[in-house]
Amino acid sequence: MFIEGSLLADSLVTAIVFLTIASFIAGFIDAVAGGAGLVLVPSFMIAGMPPQLALGQEKLVSTIGTISAIRNFVKDKKVIWKLVPVGVVLGLLGAYVGARAILFIDEKLVAQIIVFMLPVGLLFTLFKGKFTAKKVGEMSENGATKHYLVAIALVSFIVGFYDGFFGPGTGSLFIIALYLFVKIDLVKASATSKIFNFASNIGAFVAFSLAGKMLFKLGIPMVMGSLAGNYIGSKLTILKGEKVVKTVLILTVNAMLVTLALKFIFA
């Protein structure tokens, strides 16, 4: 199940406990600042999962969290539904292509790609917050549909490809792209991007699942941990705001990045 030489490879129970705790932390952070994959992917690799399996397992755990977020946004009527069909189809297709691409790359090179791209995903997640103080003229659904379908298609395929190829930071990248290139106000961009992100998750999920890069039984306690983390994180956000959690995110990702760098590059 885990690669030889991992600190946790000798104890399945220890590995499951570690990964369940990591999933809780990832869900907690994701509910506040986004970026569950920034915690999950390196956690899986530290536990000893091969890189492609770590990417696939992240899709198994994090997709349910996206469903929860979608439910809230749909309830608040923030999704621009006329943009959804194009975004869903191209996002799903892009993610499937991206996942298939990463599956053909040598495992050692994939590990190094992940180490290199983790800071990129972290920047996407943190950079999103720079837009919260800005305003964009609100676009009507008809206007957006008429003038920006090509932009939606390109954004969805490119970001979807990134999601399938790597993943962490995709939600924030979707929001930034919709905000900048499609000129949707930030709240609706966030809501609509959740639908696109769910589609890209499904595309990558299918590709990794067909390739046998998921451990479904192992994922059950991890999914439960993620759900619990999302619930508590959302509650804490209401009381305390997201600044503290973003600090936790930075520290956690940096610690895992150093661990992976030592393991896969310098070892």
CA dist., res. 24 & res. 240, Å (int): 19
**pLDDT tens digits, residue range 215-235?**
998 889 999 998 888 778 766
Burial class of 112 by CB neighbour count within 10 A (0 to 12, 13 to 18, 19+) = middle
The residue with greater pLDDT, 151 or 5, is 151
Q: Is it the case that residue 122 has pLDDT exceeding 90?
A: no
**127-165 b/e with 16+ CB inside 10 Å = b?**
ebeeeeeeeeeebeeeebbeebbebbbebbbbbbbbbbb
Across residues 157-171, what is the average pLDDT? 90
Q: Is it the case that residue 46 has pLDDT exceeding 80?
A: yes
CA dist., res. 145 & res. 124, Å (int): 26
pLDDT band at residue 5 using 50, 70 and 90 as cut-offs: very low
At position 233, the amino acid (one-letter code) is G
CA dist., res. 40 & res. 246, Å (int): 16
Contact present, 97 and 161 (Cβ < 8 Å): yes
